[in-house]
Structure 1
């Protein structure tokens, strides 16, 4: 009793060094991915034990490949060790209490005792049975010691019993993991990884069916040899079926080698005394020395029968053979319903956007035909649709962002709108103002030839150019180029600041019915990608940060960096210069007139004085 208590304390002390782990931690996710790959290898290994056995046609006996058996036992031990580590991890892995899932994601239970009890009451017994090294014990201990190295027939029966006994619980435990999901969520988040897993599960099904077909074919050869032995008069012939075995003399063994009934067991024709049914090809396959050749052909046979739902198989009247054929048909239907269906959904998902684009184009064409749009307008609509789809790939970014937490939305918008740093105005702003502006920005696309603003029309938005070239044409015909990083419609910001005031209650007074009219035309020279700030959103931003935006430094940046204000300034300078030149010209002309008048008025006065003197 004291000894058991001491072991308990030692185990508790060892586990105390390992903290309770969050099932959503990155390390746990990586371990789950590695564990799934290990499980896939493990369930691939078990059917390979069937290929340890082969038939020597000359000696009419069954032989076991011990070197291959030892290698498989070592690999199986490695996968069992990984599975045992996974079992230990379950004792230190927190879980979500089922009763707390009523609201939200549920509460995480991280108390060591509750975690251990939860696993012990769950899959512990099944995992313990799965991890038992039964095939290794049979190959390395039981068969050499109790059966002997030459007891291939008995070894076949023991291996078949132990592998099949453990394989069904392994499939039950592993297949949900191979489906890409665990109790903690998705194991593989990539769609391609899930596609590969589904493909490997189809390969696994062919692998299992082909391996069982080989084993059952070997079993039928064994049954034929036993029937030949029972019908012959050769003493101890049943022991000769195991290569290396047999207690009879060399004469009896030679008689068995030359027995016609035993030799007829390898005759697979229609006139053969022993009907193999679906195992006809497996009979001669069991006589091949190369294990690789035997496995490859069995795998091919499994693929072929699953894909065709055993359509080309004609079983004999042997009951177990008929049941095996029915199982192949059922498995094929199940795979087509589940795995092939999942793969088809994945492949369709890859082309889903293209299909949506085609449906969208068809609807647009029907609508344009129904509304009888002119040819030129239809051409522009098609160009706009193509450009919009190429830029967004059919993804509604606003809907995607709306489902994310606010801090992630803010960081994503900051990432999107890094180009705002190119505008000098925004370099003067703090993050709160930038976040307020970025939250209102919406993506917009314009095709070549589109007018963003036109002379005499309302200025109802500010456009921040991300990519493309535009041209601003003033009323007097002067042109100014716009490109990446420039702003169009920036006069709207100044207009809102100038045409609003604040009352005594610090509330903004709006002047209803007033709006800004464009005095220029802005045309897209190429396809343009831009972000738009609508007038209503801009009004909200200006009301919230009016004090900052009225700062002379900010106003100076707006006017200095804006091509619009530069054009206005240049125009006003030119007008002022022309007025000044006219003024100077007038002043100069008036001065000349005054001088000429004064000289004209002096000449008569002088002549009169000279007349009086005379």
Structure 2
């Protein structure tokens, strides 16, 4: 079953048994099971097939969770494998005192075991390809593609595809050479050829492995992107650069070791007179030295001036491998690897600009290859990393362009410096609040139900308005749909005394104050609302048509008796009077319910405050009248 929510090619229900043809294996299983029940057990293969049949998986969807998890695990295994193979080159080192090349056998067994483990994982991945559905290339022409789940077609598609290359990659050539070839030739003159065969096998097998592994590491898997986040891609690009340095440094060490070996061979052939000098060059695992000491010509080899000159700076034309000569004599494997990795980093970064090769052809070609790899990495990987870093600062660039446009507009309109300062502050705060993201455009591309859920989450404070607490959910959703983000800077006046109240303002962040006619100050902060009397006024002064479908609102508007201004920069949501009228026209009958009318009369803070002030005024007038009546004397009668 497909577990990819973004898949456009898989059916809704991936029924393998219903859609794929019954394989020949299942037919054999049914027949064999029937024969076993009737006592016919003539074929051991059939019984074995019936036993293994429950453990053989059917055709698997490439978007299934288990396949996606396996792909990630396989990519990590591939990354480990491509870093592991060049480590075979560091198993060989030079013993300067004995003038021979030795193989580090304990480390060899460890690397062979790790290589065998990665080969086994690769083999399991090959078996998975025979059971993994694929998208038919011809079906991509007219649409998103059709998933092929026929076992025979899947097997044929893989056999005529990457099977041969994968089969060559999974062959344990280094293990075979180390475990079977080297022990036979380690004590003879053929040890040098066996070691050359090991190096050649690793290099020849490493190129097709990179051809198969690099697309996986780059996230170009046929079953979908494995690493989708930007930071994961950034790390992959960085690992590619490290991998290139790792390969170049390892090859540099290997070729330097070969040049030392060639120097020893030249010293042996050119007038040394030592019969077994070719055997002395290879120390095997290091235990052959005791055997060599019994040979009288061993001391002649140790004292050979030509062999000793191989470690001198001018004793042999090493070229770019001059530093590798001393490195090959280092017994610590970590030191040899770290310095080789540093050399690879240095040469790729500088395009081998500080290296002058000798006249040896393969050395010149290796230097040219380093320059080509460096140029390719700078063109691809460094370019991708630059694009990634630029994408992080894209918003900042947009902000700079926006500020430049605003400055040009203000200069063109010749605004005074005071207004320019306020415009700059408003633009700066607007960008800080929205981060340059157009929320309305983002919301328009989402499904309606998801938009409603997001608005309910963002506009929780709407329920703090006491009138909205008694409204039905459809009315509240309609109001939230018409809310718009608004930014106010410090000292901005939202509502003027004596001006029209044309909006309701819901404060998200910041502080305001409301100053009444009697100069009473009411602080407003996050979650508070100003202008809520507009809703009660619209509901009280509207009238329903005879058809009961539309609401008429009188032409005169509500005037404010207070001043609302910002004490700090304020981020708020605004509901315009026109939008509020539209809501009242859509939900006329709902707003005329007794429950809403009760909220208008008893729960509106504006009208409750207005009623309280009128009661206070009436009470003061009555108190004055009573005091005036009590103080006035009764007129005497004559």
Q: Say if 2:170 is the partner of 1:131.
A: yes
Stretch of structure 1 that moved more, 2-11 or 540-549: 2-11
Instruction: Decide whether the 8 Å contact of 1:70 with 1:140 is kept in 2.
Output: no
* 1:452 to 1:104, Cα distance in 2 relative to 1, 3 A: farther
The answer as to whether partners of 1:20 and 1:112 remain within 8 angstroms in 2 is no
Structure 1 match to 2:487: 445
Q: Distance in 1 between matches of 2:223 and 2:496?
A: 57
Distance 1:427 1:76 in 2: 68
Task: Indicate which of 265, 268, 285 corresponds to 2:313.
Answer: 268
For residues 91 and 556 of structure 1, the distance between their equivalents in structure 2, rounded to whole angstroms, comes to: 72
User: After the TM superposition, which of the residue ranges 45-54 and 85-94 deviates more from structure 2?
Assistant: 85-94
Residue 145 of structure 1: how far off its partner (Å): 4.6
Distance 1:570 1:98, change over 3 A: farther
Equivalent position of 1:256 in the other structure: 301
2:415 aligned residue: 373
Which structure 2 residues correspond to residues 553-592 of structure 1 after superposition, within 5 A? 553-557=595-599, 562-581=604-623, 588=629
- With normalisation by structure 1, the TM-score equals 0.87
Query: What corresponds to 1:408 in structure 2?
Result: 450
| 2:339 match | 297
Q: Is the 2:185–2:191 Cα contact (8 Å) retained in structure 1?
A: no
Q: Which residue of 1 aligns with 2:19?
A: none
Per the alignment, residue 205 of structure 1 pairs with: 244
The corresponding residue for 1:241 is 281
Which residue in the other structure is 1:13 paired with? 54
Distance of 2:580 and 2:142 partners within structure 1: 39
- Range that drifts further, 230-239 or 36-45: 230-239
Contact 2:504 2:531 in 1 (8 A): yes
Tell me what 2:590 maps to. Answer: 548
Which residue does the alignment assign to 2:9? none
Q: Could you tell which deviates more after superposition, 441-450 or 122-131? A: 122-131
What is the CA distance between 1:26 and its match in structure 2?
A: 4.9
Alignment partner, residue 497 of structure 1:
539
Match of 1:40 among 70, 79, 88: 79
Contact 2:62 2:223 (8 Å CA) reproduced: no
Counterpart CA distance in 2 for 1:93 and 1:193 is 26
Distance 1:356 1:583 in 2: 69
Q: For residues 420 and 3 of structure 1, do their structure 2 counterparts lie closer, same or farther at Cα, with a shift above 3 Å needed?
A: farther
Of the candidates 67, 89, 110, which is equivalent to residue 50 of structure 1?
89
Alignment correspondent of 1:188: 227
Question: What does 1:357-436 correspond to in 2, within 5 Å?
Answer: 357-436=399-478
Inter-partner Cα distance in structure 2 for 1:90 and 1:409:
42
Moved more, 563-572 or 104-113: 104-113
1:169 is aligned to 2:201: no
| CA deviation after TM superposition for structure 1 residue 41, in Å | 1.1
Whether 1:279 and 2:321 are equivalent positions in the alignment is: yes
Q: CA RMSD in A?
A: 3.1
Structure 1 stretch displaced more, 124-133 or 221-230: 124-133
- Structure 1 residue 482 corresponds to structure 2 residue 524: yes
1:188 Cα deviation (Å)? 2.0
Q: 2:563 aligns with which of 521, 528, 540?
A: 521
1:86-127 residue CA offsets vs partner (Å, 9 max, x unmatched) = 334444544444445457754555555555554444433333
Q: Quote how far apart the aligned CAs of 1:196 are.
A: 1.5
Indicate if the aligned counterparts of 1:309 and 1:332 stay in contact, CA closer than 8 A. yes
CA distance in 2, matches of 1:289, 1:361: 62
Question: Residues 40-189 of structure 1: matches in 2 within 5 Å?
Answer: 40-101=79-140, 105-109=144-148, 114-145=153-184, 152-189=191-228
CA distance in 1, matches of 2:161, 2:624: 99
Query: Contact conserved, 1:53 with 1:156, CA < 8 A, in 2?
Result: no
* Conserved 8 A contact 1:63-1:242: yes
Q: In 1, distance between residues paired with 2:494 and 2:154?
A: 63
Q: Any idea what the Cα deviations from partners look like across 1:531-557, whole Å, max 9, x if unmatched?
A: 122333322322233333333433444
CA 123–536 in structure 1, closer or farther in 2 if over 3 Å, else same: farther
Q: 1:93 to 1:444 in 2, by over 3 A?
A: farther
Deviations 1:511-542 (A, max 9, x none): 58554443432211222221122333322322
On the 8 A contact 2:548/2:589 being kept in 1, the answer is no
Which protein shows a greater Rg? Answer: 1
SS at 2:283's partner residue?
A: coil
Corresponding residue for residue 13 of structure 2? none
Q: Structure 1 residue 208: deviation in Å?
A: 0.1
Aligned residue for 1:338, secondary structure, equals helix
Q: How many residues align?
A: 591
The Cα shift of 1:51 comes to 0.5
SS in 2 for 1:471: strand
Deviation string 1:488-523 (CA, Å, 9 cap, x unpaired) is: 222222233334434344431545855444343221
- Structure 1 runs not aligned, ≥5 long: 604-614
Q: Secondary structure at the match of 2:252?
A: helix
Q: Distance in 1 between matches of 2:496 and 2:45?
A: 90
**Alignment partners' CA distance in 2, 1:524 and 1:174:** 60
Change (3 A) 1:30 1:560: farther
The answer to whether the 8 Å contact 1:497/1:546 transfers is: no
The DSSP-based 3-state class of the residue aligned with 1:389 is helix
Do the aligned partners of 1:50 and 1:215 also contact (CA within 8 Å) in 2? yes
Verify the 8 A CA contact 1:70 1:139 in the aligned structure 2: no
Q: Which residue does the alignment assign to 1:612? A: none
The CA deviation string for residues 445-487 of structure 1, in whole angstroms up to 9 with x for no partner, is: 2122111222343333222112222222334434333222222
Give 2:263's match in structure 1, choosing from 216, 224, 231: 224
Give the 3-state SS of the residue equivalent to 2:296 in structure 1: helix
